[in-house]
Structure 1
Amino acid sequence: MENHNISRELDFSKLVEKYPELRPWFHHNRFEWHDNSAVVLITRILLQEWGLQVQIDSNRLCPRLFNRLDYLDFMHDLLGSFKNTVGLDVGTGHLAIYALLGAKLYGLEFVASDIDRESLRLAESNISRNGLGSAVTLVHNEPSESFFDCLVSRLGPKHGFVMCNPPFYSSATEMRQRADLKADARAVSAMANELVVEGGEIAFVSRMIRESESHKESNITWFTSLLGKYDSLKPLVSLLRSKKIDNFGVHAFRSSLTQTGTQRWILFWSFKPDRPKADLFNSIVTQKVRREFKCNQKNLKERLHALDSIDVSEPNQSSLVLQVPGNVWSRSYRRQKRYAEDQMRVKITFDENTVVTWKSGLNYQLFESFCNWCKEST
């Protein structure tokens, strides 16, 4: 079952009537989200409404559900479908929330890893309680072990994807300082390893990027991680570029019942050639996979059909799909050695403006060069 439209229209008045224990936390049509006890209670009740029975340890990190749902929804859009896929949740925590929601609401298989044995013990109890043991595999990882081996070894012919909610902070001091800057910051109960790691989220996700290079040829389609700080984006994007990983993007979102909560970012990267939908790239720190400009469209079509070695299909009168073996528009093309990574597929749509969308390929400079060549059709 694929169900990525969980309703956010919660009627708290009806919830309070159905669950009287919520009443102390509901005043003047507002719920007290800034108290950890209230968050634990509403999380348990919402999961119950969605068909999941859980026990939540109030001393451990209690996930914000709509944040997690938004991340899962994004993964569905990124992959196009959850069919024949297995997810990995790195640092799953005691609720194994992505695995629980993924298995229950989307029919997904999940591998859920953690370095904390007690978190895994509690997660196993919640998974068993909901009869999801056949869909979710829990794995204990030592801090020095690879993030991704536990997924690759279980994929078989299926495709994999990676999700992660990394520890945001480099120290308890940084965590307190950032909380002091927020007037509405809620009290958070969590174990140290759930919120703090040496080097913070930059170091954690940098390690993910470096380790992912060892799995270029695996069936893992997308590696992703949630980020809690805008300042983390620039160094991580720079690392991806330094590794010549061109298939990446950043998706910004806000989560709450009305999608107006704290802003978060999802960094995603892949070693496969297929590009995701252009509207998933909504952050200023990412590269563009769709370019729009004005040009002489008749002239551009004539120039395209005159190019050597490209395959052109015309699905309708207003668009072309091109399979391009390299920069065939360049004078130096015949002198160059042709590389597999120079293969590119683009779609050109002709409307009031000309829109070029990058559909497949691993060389971003090639896409930019092609767009610039198209603009010359004036």
Structure 2
Amino acid sequence: MTAQKPGLHPRNRHRSRYDMNALCQSCPQLQEFIVQTPAGEPSVNFADPLAVKALNKALLAHFYGVAHWDIPEGFLCPPVPGRADYIHHLADLLAESNGGEIPKQATVLDIGTGANLIYPLIGAHEYGWRFTGSETGPEAFASAQAIINGNEGLTRVIRLRRQKDASLIFNGIIHKNENYDATMCNPPFHDSAATARAGSERKRRNLGQAEDGALNFGGQQHELWCEGGEVAFIEKMIAESQQFGRQVKWFTTLVSRGDNLPPLYRALTNVGAVKVVKKEMAQGQKQSRFIAWSFMNDAKRRRPF
């Protein structure tokens, strides 16, 4: 099973096809969801949310040493390979301002870390970085904290902060005299509950599900949509970032559609960002990207932990 998945970062552990036998050894629960493809190879039914969740558990256990991982029903179950790509491209960005070397002690703020805690889990394992994860929802916060508490060593490298005011992003999370090498974010990209539902139904049709079935990757309201959609959310992030420009080396965020870039570039010009970078990513046919901006000309950072 050595076929390569096109487009993934060279350091991404998921470039080869899944070895289902090895994954089942790491997470025996996955075995009950194994099905045969028409070609006779083991796989899972990606239209089954329980199968996708079991696959995620197996991937996190096998590749990232995460012994305990679970999320409440109905919460976003992230596709691990694409999430890992963001981490690896972020590592390249940090290396560019660190003499070509990926920093071994980077500190990263994950905005809206979610019930799944996916970015801190991957980043801490792959690079030994320290993470602060922010979250607004009490159930998601409790889930993420349970993952940290359930895995040996994570309390030393991942901490959570509750964002008490859902209208704020960095305010209330970045404390005075704290510094971060980077922030990252997977923002809600729909602009209403209706468009989020339509997107979910489109995915279900593509997976051959009935329209009233549960979407395989799930998602709560605040994970999927916000007033004004992705552009409004990132514009707010950009506006707030100016206040913390001396405390954060790189602010970054995923941008789901290339069409959304022009207004974001204008917003970055308006706040006086010194450097703006776009990193293109791909997973098979799916194109994605993140943008990064900085208010600093130097690369040296103090550590917040």
Band the TM-score falls in, shorter-chain normalisation: 0.7 to 0.9
Whole-angstrom CA distance in 2 between matches of 1:198 and 1:145: 14
Whole-angstrom CA distance in 1 between matches of 2:52 and 2:86: 19
Write out aligned runs for 1:1-378 (5 A): 4-15=11-22, 18=25, 19=28, 20-24=31-35, 28=39, 29=41, 31-50=44-63, 51-53=65-67, 54-80=69-95, 81-131=102-152, 132-142=154-164, 143-147=166-170, 149-153=172-176, 155=178, 159-179=180-200, 184=206, 187=215, 188-218=217-247, 220-255=248-283, 260-273=284-297
User: Any idea what the Cα deviations from partners look like across 1:17-68, whole Å, max 9, x if unmatched?
Assistant: 6442231375533543343222111101111112102123231000111111
Amino acid at match of 2:13: I
Gaps of 5+ in 1: 276-378
Q: How many residues align?
A: 266
Whole-angstrom CA distance in 2 between matches of 1:44 and 1:212: 34
CA RMSD of aligned residues (A): 2.6
- Quick check: 1:88–1:112 contact (8 Å CA) kept in 2? yes
Q: Aligned pair in 2 of structure 1 residues 181, 144: CA closer, same or farther (>3 Å)?
A: closer
Shift of 1:107: 1.0
- Quick check: 1:250–1:268 contact (8 Å CA) kept in 2? yes
Amino acid at match of 2:289: W
Larger radius of gyration: 1
Identity %: 29
Q: Aligned pair in 2 of structure 1 residues 173, 17: CA closer, same or farther (>3 Å)?
A: closer
Shift of 1:75: 0.8
- Quick check: 1:4–1:106 contact (8 Å CA) kept in 2? no
User: Any idea what the Cα deviations from partners look like across 1:124-158, whole Å, max 9, x if unmatched?
Assistant: 111111120111110000213442552354736xx
Gaps of 5+ in 2: 1-9, 96-101, 210-214, 300-305
Q: Using structure 2 for the length normalisation, give the TM-score.
A: 0.78
Amino acid at match of 1:160: D
- Quick check: 2:123–2:129 contact (8 Å CA) kept in 1? yes
Q: Is the partner of 1:151 in helix, strand or coil?
A: coil
Answer 1 or 2: higher relative contact order, Cα 8 Å, separation at least 6: 2
Q: Aligned pair in 2 of structure 1 residues 11, 214: CA closer, same or farther (>3 Å)?
A: closer
Q: Aligned pair in 2 of structure 1 residues 137, 11: CA closer, same or farther (>3 Å)?
A: closer
Amino acid at match of 1:127: I
